[in-house]
Amino acid sequence: MENIELEKVIHEELMVIDSAASNKDQILSELAQLLCAKGYVEDADTFLADVYLREEEGETGIGQGIAIPHGKSQAVKETTVAIATLKNEIEWETLDDKGVKVVIMFAVKDSDANTTHVLLLQKIAILLANDQFIEQIKNVQTVDELFQLVIHS
């Protein structure tokens, strides 16, 4: 398996600080539109439909205020990750039944489904197993701070 450098899939232009989204649908749509606007996704609606399909399979709210929705989709041109921190906690189906403050959305190209996707999830999962990282990501103030945190953790 190839080793994936987070810098290849994490981009500052796909980060949002203090999104005003007040529910899950709004933030999923906001991130899908952003991915589309920046050229990583061809069609936001198709991608979003695939994200919702995955949501039906099980909770993507992993607890401690973090959700990791993901869509494996033909609409994705380049596997990447969009990240948003939320101004206000929103409701989500989570493992700890608490709200969500950070959304890390994986957009995965169909052809990468069994390699890149898994490696990405592993890398992010390792970061999210670190309580200090979780506290830091919830408190970032700028896109640059968020980017540096994810890349250098």
Question: Coil, strand or helix: which one is 85?
Answer: strand
| β-bridge partners, 73 | 109
Task: Write phi, then psi, for 43 (nearest 5 degrees).
Answer: -140, 115
Residue pair 84/73 in contact (Cβ under 8 Å)? The answer is: no
Instruction: Decide if domain 6-152 falls under CATH 3.40.930.10.
Output: yes
Residue pair 92/21 in contact (Cβ under 8 Å)? The answer is: no
Show pLDDT as tens, one digit a residue, over the chain (153 residues). Answer: 445 678 888 999 999 999 999 999 999 999 999 999 999 999 999 999 999 999 999 889 999 999 999 999 999 999 999 999 999 999 999 999 999 999 999 999 988 777 877 788 788 889 999 999 999 999 999 999 999 999 888
Structure confidence at residue 3 (pLDDT): 57
| pTM assigned to the model | 0.93
